[in-house]
Amino acid sequence: MSETTEPMIRLENVSRVFPAHGEAEKVRALRKVSLSVPKGARIAIRGESGSGKSTLLNLVGGLDAPTKGRVVVGGHELSEFTERELTRYRATTVGFVMQAFNLLPALSARENVELALEAAGAPRAAGRERADELLGTVGIAERAEHRPARLSGGEQQRVAIARALANRPSVLLADEPTGNLDRKSRRAVTTLLRELSEKTGTTLLIVTHDPNTVAACDTVYRLHHGRFTGEPMAVNPSRRADSAREIEEADDQDTSDSSDDDE
Amino acid sequence: MTIATRVWRNVARGRARTLGVAVAVGIALSAFLILSQINTGIGASVASAEAALQDVITVQSAGASTFSFNTHMNGSAASKVATAPYVTSVQRILIEAPGANFSGGMPSGGSPPSGSANFTLYQGIDTDTSAGIGLFGGFGGESSFTITAGRDLDAADENSQVALVGSSYASDHSLVPGSPISVNGTTFQVVGLYSTGSMFGGGAIIMPYPAAQAAFAASGPNLLYVLVGAASDLSAAVQDLRTILGSSYDVTAPSEDAGGGFASALGSVLSSTQFEADAALAVGAAIMVVVMALVSAQRTREIGVMKAIGFGNSRVLAQLLSEGILLSAFGLPIGLLATVWIGPSVAQIVASSATPSGGPGGFRGGGFFTARLLGRVSFAITPEVLVLGIAVAVGFGILGSLYPIMKALRSRPAEALRHE
């Protein structure tokens, strides 16, 4: 296989079992999941709560390790990394956007972005310049001095996106990035993620419930009880709004079916 | 942004928490410093004092008992003793109790004999304490000598007409430091009040020996405490003194019990203060462990975020450890101030727990002597105390922080990020 055809992200029969006191209580979050994401692709992963979406993202981000299987990113199998290499990988190869924003409360917006640059070893002056540039890119340059407690949810998520992009990662991972936002902010953050991915060629892997965010991606996978179900759905770039509506209707139908089953 | 800035911001973020930790660490630190200073203070005196007491020889007029207050030695006897071979120091003791009738001897229990309740005990002593014995001996059962007002007598008072007055006597006669007091027709100035907890000690007046001798026109002391340079010289010194003084005086070598009792009393205080100082250290470290465990638990998610964005364990550890040390360091000024303020009171409590033990002639109790030593322990903030305080505060910060931080660092970032 040539270098150009090597996918950016490759999961091979990945399982993740969380230990518990008894065998019956073990949580099998992922069951032999395989996935191949080309470089620059924008992938959405859907699924109900507890289906294993966040676990999958954590494995790709090097925040967790699989119980079985291989996670290969940029041609490197993560399980072969030393702790130091894994730390470097988190700092430079992947950027993480989380639902709860996870900004450090004692630091300003700019300092939160600078922190990621510091982790990667960027010089302080260059780090400050880059942080300001990114805050400008995500549209909150004027809020650079504010601490998270004084920012709205949408603004905090923009800071988190700026932080995730600080070191120009090859892969941007977003875990429910719009989950805590109002409708207007959801749309703005979704558009921002897509545009940044298109502009920088960053591979985007988003876990989300939000149909609009799903429709902003190129391909949609669905996880159910730790396994991918059905065929991945390709989103028509010229019909994103329709795709979002169709996904929403499908979700409503699923919810309705589920209610009928319960009865 | 430097790690120091982040550390400062995080510590400053929880002001109530920082204050709480500072107070807790300050209390533990002051307990340790106070007990350490008591321990060091006693320890420094123990070697020389213990050796000295082992070598104390008592000299009295032949046939005199401890309470033969009217039996004075010849004035030249003390001079002869002072110039005798092996003798390094002589402490003269003059005890006068006008109006008291001790012909029946002293009953046990520290109460005056029947019919002698209304008397005042005057004691003249050499105030030069370089001999290591202390200013004056204690009566059996007096285990806590404390200056309650004014000051103690010291070497500079040797030729002054000044007096220490027992608290019960002072109360009965409305005396305070600075008051004049008439001793057998001679006016003395009260420089301090003391308390011993017994009616004898509390009712006595203590003066420098020369002034007391003049006031009572005494030919000499009732008793001499004689120190020799080394225990090996003791027998020879006793023989020489008996030869020099003749049969008019009893020269008595110390009993084994005297030194043993003293050593036992001091040893008891030393070991108990050492134990308490160690306990204070352990409590301080335990406080920091609990506090930092709570802080780390609250910040587990932050640890997860830092690791998720590419900070290695060593850098996260350095930051959190620095925070623990800074938090603990805020307790340093509180601990130092508390040491200065409450140190003397703690010393008094420790002194009152010292085991009393009678010495030669019944006038030198180990517990009493210990109480006197404790009364002289300094609780000032010296450079040594400051360095010790800083070391302990930093130690608290490191010891207290290390385990909870390491525990938090061992978890995977994903696990830490799930922490609520």
Q: What is the mean pLDDT of residues B160-165?
A: 90
Give the residue with greater pLDDT, B133 vs B77: B77
Q: What is the mean pLDDT of residues A240-262?
A: 66
The proportion of chain A whose per-residue pLDDT surpasses 70, expressed as a percent, equals 92
Distance (Å, rounded) from C-alpha A193 to C-alpha A198? 9
Contacts of B173 (CB under 8 A, 6+ apart): B181
Testing the interface with A: which of B1, B320, B415 to mutate, by most A Cβ within 10 A?
B1
Give the residue with greater pLDDT, A242 vs A57: A57
Query: Which string of DSSP letters, residue by residue, matches A96-133?
Result: EEETT----TTS-HHHHHHHHHHHTT--HHHHHHHHHH
The single-letter DSSP state of residue A92 is H
Distance (Å, rounded) from C-alpha B306 to C-alpha B292? 18
CA distance A94 to chain B (A): 9
- Tell me the C-alpha to C-alpha distance, in Å, between residue A87 and each of A78, B313, B314: 11, 9, 11
Contact B413 A102 (CB under 8 A): no
Distance (Å, rounded) from C-alpha A211 to C-alpha A254? 14
Residue A70 corresponds to which tokens in the numbers above? 């291989």
Asked if A160 and A103 touch (Cβ cutoff 8 Å), the reply is yes
Q: In terms of pTM, does the model score above 0.95? A: no
Lowest mean pLDDT segment, chosen from A173-182, B14-23, B360-369: B360-369
Contacts of B35 (CB under 8 A, 6+ apart): B273, B274, B276, B277, B280, B346
Testing the interface with B: which of A49, A86, A90 to mutate, by most B Cβ within 10 A?
A90
Q: What is the mean pLDDT of residues B385-390?
A: 88
Q: Is the pLDDT of residue B378 over 80?
A: no
Q: Which of B302, B313, B412 sits opposite A64 (nearest CB)?
A: B412
Q: Is A16 on the interface with B (CB under 8 A)?
A: no
Q: How many CB atoms lie within 10 A of CB A251?
A: 15
Lowest mean pLDDT segment, chosen from A23-27, A32-36, A174-178, B320-324: A23-27
- Sorting pLDDT into bands at 50, 70 and 90, what band is A189? confident
Nearest Cα to Cα of residue A174 among A21, A61, A77: A61
| Rg from Cα positions in chain B | 29
| Environment class of A167 (CB within 10 Å of its CB; exposed 0-12, middle 13-18, buried 19+) | buried
Q: What is the mean pLDDT of residues B276-286?
A: 76
Q: Which of A58, A118, A120 sits opposite B1 (nearest CB)?
A: A118
CA distance A55 to chain B (A): 8
- Tell me the C-alpha to C-alpha distance, in Å, between residue B196 and each of A177, B153, B167, B275: 76, 16, 8, 26
CA distance B287 to chain A (A): 25
Q: Which of A58, A64, A106 sits opposite B13 (nearest CB)?
A: A106
* Matching residue, tokens 């420089």: B191
Nearest Cα to Cα of residue A37 among A94, A118, A91: A94
Nearest Cα to Cα of residue A230 among A219, A241, A239: A219
- Sorting pLDDT into bands at 50, 70 and 90, what band is A151? very high
Q: Is the pLDDT of residue B99 over 70?
A: no
Q: Is the pLDDT of residue A260 over 60?
A: no
Q: Which of B10, B306, B309 sits opposite A106 (nearest CB)?
A: B10
Give the residue with greater pLDDT, B116 vs A227: A227
Q: Is the pLDDT of residue B360 over 60?
A: no
* Strand pairing report for B162-166 and B204-208: antiparallel
Q: Phi and psi at residue B215, in whole multiples of 5°?
A: -60, -35
Give the residue with greater pLDDT, B39 vs B268: B39
Number of H-type helices and E-type strands within chain A: 8, 11
Distance (Å, rounded) from C-alpha A175 to C-alpha B418? 12
The mean pLDDT value of chain B amounts to 74
Q: What is the mean pLDDT of residues A167-174?
A: 92
The single-letter DSSP state of residue A221 is E
- Count of A–B CB contacts within 8 Å? 72
- Tens of pLDDT, residues B205-256: 888 889 998 998 888 888 888 877 777 778 888 889 989 888 888 888 765 3
> So what's the ipTM on this one?
0.88
Q: Is the pLDDT of residue B292 over 80?
A: no
Q: Which residue of B has its CA nearest to A58?
A: B414
Asked if B354 and B48 touch (Cβ cutoff 8 Å), the reply is no
The mean pLDDT value of chain A amounts to 86
Residue B227: its pLDDT value, please?
78
- Tell me the C-alpha to C-alpha distance, in Å, between residue B154 and each of A242, B52, B123, B128: 100, 19, 15, 7
Tell me if residue A37 falls in helix, strand or coil: strand
* Matching residue, tokens 């007391």: B212
Highest mean pLDDT among A69-83, B15-29, B83-97, B297-311: A69-83
Give the residue with greater pLDDT, A254 vs A211: A211
- Tell me the C-alpha to C-alpha distance, in Å, between residue B11 and each of B4, B21, B292, B319: 11, 11, 12, 11
Distance (Å, rounded) from C-alpha A41 to C-alpha A7? 10
Asked if A169 and A7 touch (Cβ cutoff 8 Å), the reply is no
Q: What is the mean pLDDT of residues A63-82?
A: 94
Nearest Cα to Cα of residue B299 among B393, B401, B396, B399: B401
Q: Is the pLDDT of residue B336 over 50?
A: yes
Tell me if residue A191 falls in helix, strand or coil: helix
Distance (Å, rounded) from C-alpha A138 to C-alpha A149? 18
Amino acid letter for position B359: G
Q: What is the mean pLDDT of residues A98-118?
A: 90
Q: Is the pLDDT of residue B100 over 90?
A: no
Residue A213 corresponds to which tokens in the numbers above? 């965010």
Q: Where are the domains of chain B?
A: 3-49+261-418, 57-253
Q: What angle do CA B286, B289, B293 make, to 5 degrees?
A: 145
Residue B308 corresponds to which tokens in the numbers above? 């998720």
Residues of B with CB under 8 A from a CB of A: 1, 6, 9-10, 12-13, 301-302, 304-313, 315, 412-415, 417
- Sorting pLDDT into bands at 50, 70 and 90, what band is B30? confident
Asked if B259 and B50 touch (Cβ cutoff 8 Å), the reply is yes
Contacts of B152 (CB under 8 A, 6+ apart): B135, B164, B192, B194, B375, B376
| Rg from Cα positions in chain A | 19
